Structure 1
């Protein structure tokens, strides 16, 4: 089992970030956090890095269900979706929540995480 869903698309980096936000919204996710890794590495350690953005995506209904099933699951939320510049275009990839939820002995939560993963996979596909 892979731990992420990915695809490479054509387009300007910032435009792909916005397309990713729109695809997430279409599938019920909002973006709670955004980390500009390129800017952070430059500011904190003076290192240049490729354009790399981490979006913390959350589907509030699905997150609420997961929290009702497992009170400590918040350590694994929100779901990270990354947009990075690659040689072949712009890569968009999202965590497969089922791979991390495998660490929790809760079959209902695992099934729920698989459903969340399908929504994230569809969002990545729609970018």
Structure 2
């Protein structure tokens, strides 16, 4: 089972794709709660060089509220991570597939919420 929703953007550089990703997230009621510059972290902590790689921790508050309401410990698996990474073809944007990540939790109501979140994240990826 795939665990991410992916798209490669070929018509923009990394920073432009970042801006477009944040706008698409916002347009679909997701906010960015966390941001990790993996490239900078690897350089600082390990003195290793790598291509641009950023993790955005995105959250749709109403959907998070719904998920926590049906499964209080689900917060351990939030927020929904969206990664941007430089690849040879351009910039790949990948969002976690909440259905795949929540499959370890035996809760049918949560699976329904995860399906709604996946649908919204799929729209986000296509809108970039």
- What range describes the TM-score normalised by the shorter chain of this pair? over 0.9
Give the Cα–Cα distance (whole angstroms) in 2 for the partners of residues 4 and 112 of structure 1: 17
Alignment correspondent of 1:126:
127
| Matching of residues 76-115 of structure 1 within 5 Å | 76-115=77-116
| Matching of residues 1-127 of structure 1 within 5 Å | 1-10=1-10, 11-127=12-128
* Structure 1, gaps ≥5 residues long: none
* Structure 2, gaps ≥5 residues long: none
Give the Cα–Cα distance (whole angstroms) in 1 for the partners of residues 109 and 70 of structure 2: 8
1:34 deviates by 0.3
Aligned length: 127
1:2 deviates by 1.1
Give the CA RMSD over aligned residues.
Answer: 0.6
TM-score normalised by length of structure 2: 0.97
Give the Cα–Cα distance (whole angstroms) in 2 for the partners of residues 108 and 55 of structure 1: 26
TM-score normalised by length of structure 1: 0.98
